[in-house]
Structures are given as structure tokens and as C-alpha cells.
Structure 1
Amino acid sequence: MGAKRSIGLVGGAGSLPDLHAEQHHIWIGADAGAKALAFAGIRMKLAVGDFDSVSEEDLAMIRQYADQVLVYPPEKDETDFELAIRHAQELGASEVTVYGVTGGRLDHELINIQMLYRLLDAFDEAVIIDRQNMIRMHRPGTYQTKQDDAYRYVSFLSFSEQVDGLTLTGFKYPLTDASIHWGGTLSISNELVAQTGTYSFTSGIVIMIKSKDV
């Protein structure tokens, strides 16, 4: 098997961590996300979008830092984030880490988190990261997460109407074969007490969020 191809995708100018501290083989910038990468001095494989949120001067800077710039018309069926995801697939990415798609407009933030559901089948690994959170989505199975001083809290939300068989080991508040529901708060703000925690469930879709206080 070949090496996994990891892409860092900056999908906007929302809540961004220090991008220089993030390690990726390939960077893609979508619209204002491309501006964020360019102004951080980070070279991109691709900049994509309608670029309606950047100035002509910004776009000129983006062109200096991007190997390729694809400009789409503002009136289109796909968002700039969707276009970037499609191009990430075309580049053969197996892992994608998304930045800048949370912390701004609420409608965009909610749909961008929901987009993780579409990425379940597109990539081996897909995660959203901002200054305060790391967000993943899972189908039924068994998973592990390591203790991380950068993210004290770990929460599990039901993306489906119901999740069954949720079992947490290595956590401050363990669970065994529990059910959680859409809008339920049973599994919010947990903490790891072991170096590695295990979580598993048998049905439904789970959003796992690792987070920290500001």
C-alpha cells in the first residue's frame, strides 16, 4: 500500500489555529481560506472558489502562493468548501483536515459540520479543527482517542436520531451500552482519565468533539 496523502484544507477565514503549527503534505485554500494561507506565507497546491470575499490585491497575493488558482462564477450550485473537497478527492487525498469553516456565520458553520457526514465515505480520515475544537464524525465501530493537554473535554453527540450501544472506557464518566438521542446532553463535557480512551457504539452516527476553554 502507498503512503497516505494528507491534505490541509482551509475552507474560510473563520476560527483558525496557528496554521504554521499544522503539518500537512499538501495545502488547499478555498476563497478567503486561500487568503489566510497566502498571508501566512504558506504555499498551496491549489486555491479555488469564486473569491467574492477577497479583493483584487488579495487575489494577486493568492496567485503568488498557489501552484494553481481555479476561479468559479459566484452563482453556482456548490459552495467554495464543496469545490475544495472535490478537488482534494481528485488529488487522491486519503486524509483531510479542515480549517476556517467554524466560528463565523452560523448557517455556514452548521452546514460545514454536517459536511463531515459526506466525508465519511470520501476519506479514510476527516476532521475539522479550529482554535478551540477538534471535530470528527463516526459510523458504528470501536475507536480510540489519546489524552491531549490541548483539548481537556471530550463530548459525544448523536448526529442521527439515536445512537445505541455507546460504551466509554478510560473516561471520567464511563458509559456501558448506553443510548443517546438527538438533543440529549448525557455525554457532553467528559474527560479522559487514561492516556488512551476507547469509545464504541453499535448503531447511529456520532459526532465526537474534543475541546478546550478559551
Structure 2
Amino acid sequence: MKYIIVSGGTPPSYRLLKRYIDDGYNVIAADSGANVLYTNKIIPKFLIGDFDSIDKKVLEYFKGKVDIEKYPPEKDYTDTELALLKAIDNGATEVMFLGCTGSRMDHVIGNVCVLYKAINKGLKAYIVDDNNKITIITKPSKIMGCRGEGFSLFAYDKEVKNLKIEGSKYNLDNYNLKVGDNLTVSNEFLENEVYLNFNSGSLILIRAVD
């Protein structure tokens, strides 16, 4: 089962929303993420949150149309994480987080943490906006792209041991990538495949388009 979770950061474009909806993704709105769905006449499957930031007219509009779950403002989970838990309870195998980037960097970092939790639960998961696609890689992987397409890597939670990058403009061989090390920013695909091998640690992969 595939889901998009729409949160209250920078609103995704209608084009981005439509891409996933047309591909069969179910929609969960996390609090004010419902505002952009209302604007684009999209009805989510679930609406979840403490509703401290959703437009009141939007909340009223969705009452009776969707499954609404309200939580107290003082809680142990963010609205985005509550939406993730709902998706998991309903058989999610893949989750795309939209509306999870923007001007509030504390929220962005918090959403990366939620992304990591999704991946650790075995889901295929990404944070996506109109310029970026972010995931976390926890095991040796092959990534696909086009010649000249850019990508950046960062150590997420601890040092990535013996990192080897093959098929890129800037290859690496058995490099220990520490948290805070920017050596692997702004690399490029030489052809269509890049291979990432490492012994331990987790990599944040960012595919950005200006």
C-alpha cells in the first residue's frame, strides 16, 4: 500500500500532488497539510493532528468526508509522525512525505527524523518537494539517474565506514565519512547507475534540482 503524507511546510504544487495520486497513492493530511489539499480539491483518506494550524474552514469542510483523528497539543509525537503511524497501521509499504520542507528548519530536521523511522520500519520512504527528493540509505545500494544528474550524500547518525562510490564523477574508495563531513556534496552520475557500498552507518541521499 502506497501513501503520501502531506504536512504543513511549503505546500507542494498541484503537479506534484497529482503525480502521486494518479499513481495510486492514498493521501493522509497531517494538520495544516489539509489546507493545500482543500485548495486543490483533493479529499484525503485520513486527517490527523492537534489542529492548531489548520484553517478552521478547512477542518469544517472535511468533517463528515474523511476519517478525522484529533490529538491534544501536548503529545509525544509530531503530527507528521502520527500520520506515519496511521499509514503503517493501514498496511503502508511506501510513503512519500510532502509539505515537509520549508522555512522552519526545526520542522525540516524533525521530518528527516520521521523519515529515518519510516525506513527503519522497512518502508520505502522519501521526503519530496518540487526541487528535492531525500531518502536515507542503510545498506549498500544502487541508485539510478541520468548522466550529469547531481546527488549529495551525508553521514546521518554516525560515521559511515569504508564508503565506496562507483559510477560517479567523484568516486571514493573505502572512505570513512564522518557526521559533518561535506566531501560527498554535489557529485554527478557518469551514466545511469551509481553504486554505494559501506560497512556500517546510514547515508542521507539528496537529489536536488534548482
1:13 to 2:9 alignment? yes
The whole-number CA distance in structure 1 between the counterparts of 2:113 and 2:182 is: 19
Match of 1:88 in 2: 87
How far 1:148 moved relative to its partner?
8.2
Give the corresponding residue for 1:42. 42
Letter of the structure 1 residue corresponding to residue 12 of structure 2: L
Tell me what 1:75 maps to.
Answer: 74
How far has the Cα of 1:141 moved from its partner?
2.0
- Letter paired with 2:179: W
Residue of structure 2 equivalent to 1:155: 152
Q: Distance in 2 between matches of 1:76 and 1:99?
A: 22
Alignment of 1:75-154 (within 5 A): 75-147=74-146, 152-154=149-151
Structure 2 equivalent of residue 205 of structure 1: 202
Aligned residue for 2:196, secondary structure, equals strand
Q: Report deviation, 1:11.
A: 1.9
Q: Secondary structure at the match of 1:120?
A: helix
Q: Percent identity?
A: 32
State the TM-score, normalized to the length of structure 1.
Answer: 0.88
In 1, Cα distance between equivalents of 2:179 and 2:145: 26
CA distance in 2, matches of 1:7, 1:141: 25
Indicate the larger mover: 118-127 or 79-88: 118-127
1: distance between equivalents of 2:163 and 2:30? 36
- Tell me the CA shift for residue 153 of structure 1: 1.8
CA RMSD of aligned residues (A): 1.9
Q: Gaps spanning 5+ residues in structure 2: where?
A: none
8 A contact 1:127–1:136 mirrored in 2: yes
Q: What residue identity is the alignment partner of 2:164?
A: T
Q: Does the 8 Å contact 1:31/1:54 carry over to 2?
A: yes
User: Contact 2:80–2:114 (CA<8 Å) still a contact in 1?
Assistant: no
Q: Which amino acid aligns with 2:46?
A: L
In structure 1, runs of 5+ residues without a counterpart are none
Cα offset, 1:164, TM superposition: 1.5
Amino acid at match of 1:25: Y
Post-superposition offset of 1:15 = 5.0
2:54 is matched with 54
The 8 Å contact of residues 11 and 84 in structure 1, kept in 2 or not, is answered as: no
Contact 2:93/2:124 (8 A) holds in 1: yes
Q: Please identify runs of 4+ aligned residues in structure 1 that moved more than 4 A.
A: none
Give the deviation of 1:123 after TM superposition. 3.4
Structure 1 position 115, deviation (Å) = 2.0
User: TM-score, normalization: structure 2?
Assistant: 0.90
Partner amino acid for 1:47?
A: L
**Distance (whole Å) between structure 1 residues aligned to residue 112 and residue 78 of structure 2:** 14
Partners of 2:91 and 2:147 in 1: CA distance? 30
Deviations 1:97-150 (A, max 9, x none): 10111113111111111222211222330110012211111213223222288x
